Amino acid sequence: MKRHLRRAVIAVSLSAAAVLPASAQGLPPGFARVADVVPGILQDVRYAGSDNFYGRPVPGYGAAECWLLKPVADALGRVEADARARGLRLVLWDCYRPQRATDAFVRWAADPNDQATKARYYPNIDKSALFAAGYIAKNSSHSTGTAVDLGLATADGRVLDFGSSYDLSDPMSSTASTAVPAAARANRAVLRSLMEARGFKNYHREWWHYSYPPAGRQPAHDVPITAGR
């Protein structure tokens, strides 16, 4: 009788575990919340709201938090310290991205009827061409926790002018674009200098996107982002 009871308890426990809320999953292995590693860092996670090219909150972004692989977060902390020494601060727009978010981008790009954000985010390119043009990846380094989208702000939090908005899919978003004013090119150069000094590498089509090669090859994850305690 006790044996049957024990089996029943185990079965119920396994069943309950299968339906635990996503927040119980915690962070992917080896990850950290950037705010825990770099206290006070500015975060404006666009995909957790509607101010983005997708036009609404993106699946997997249950909280406006930046997560990264711990060594990447540590390196970003060193960049933040360097920036503050120059009277500047980092502002983070995206860090770890659950795979389900990228999958949602794929479905969005295939829907010709959803053009609500075209004028602001991809005015000169058809949305179906965004993948081929290199602006969206079906397998993103963001999902490995080794990439970050960011800019620079003044000490009081005002974002610097970079000549094009974050996530604008256009040639003028290329880091070396000469189609933006000299002041914006200078700001892009400062960001690149700060990031590269700590091991980050820029993606040339997007002045805001940096990966961290020293972290090595990492697996992608699909753990949804949830608020920390």
The answer to whether 206 is a known catalytic residue is yes
Residue 64 has pLDDT above 90, yes or no: yes
The yes-or-no verdict on residue 11 having pLDDT over 70 is no
Whether the CB-CB separation of 72 and 92 falls below 8 Å is answered with: no
Sorted by sequence, the CB contacts under 8 Å of residue 154 that are 6+ apart come out as 87, 88, 89, 160
Contacts of 55 (CB under 8 A, 6+ apart): 114, 116, 117
The 8-class DSSP code of residue 143 comes to G
Share of the chain above pLDDT 90, in %: 84
Domains of the chain in start order, with CATH, are 27-215 (3.30.1380.10)
User: For residues 15 and 99, what is the distance between their CA atoms, to the nearest angstrom?
Assistant: 25
| Average pLDDT value for residue range 79-92 | 98
Active-site hit among 65, 80, 196, 206: 206
The mean pLDDT of 177-199, rounded to a whole number, is 98
Q: Is the pLDDT reported for residue 13 higher than 50?
A: no
**Mean predicted lDDT score pLDDT of the chain:** 90
Give the residue with greater pLDDT, 64 vs 24: 64
Q: What is the pLDDT of residue 142?
A: 97
Nearest to 223 by CA among 108, 44, 97, 128: 97
Is the pLDDT at 8 greater than 60? The verdict is no
pLDDT at 30 over 70: yes
Q: Is the pLDDT of residue 7 over 80?
A: no
pLDDT exceeds cutoff 80 at 5: no
Predicted confidence (pLDDT) per residue in 99-116, tens digit: 999 999 999 999 999 999
**The pLDDT value given to residue 36:** 97
* Mean pLDDT across 72-98: 98
Give pLDDT, residue 137: 85
Average pLDDT score over residue span 221-228? 95
More confidently predicted of 171 and 229: 171
What is the CA 209 to chain-centroid distance, rounded? 9
Per residue in 118-137, pLDDT (tens digit) is 999 999 999 999 988 999 88
Q: Do the Cβ atoms of 66 and 34 come closer than 8 Å?
A: yes
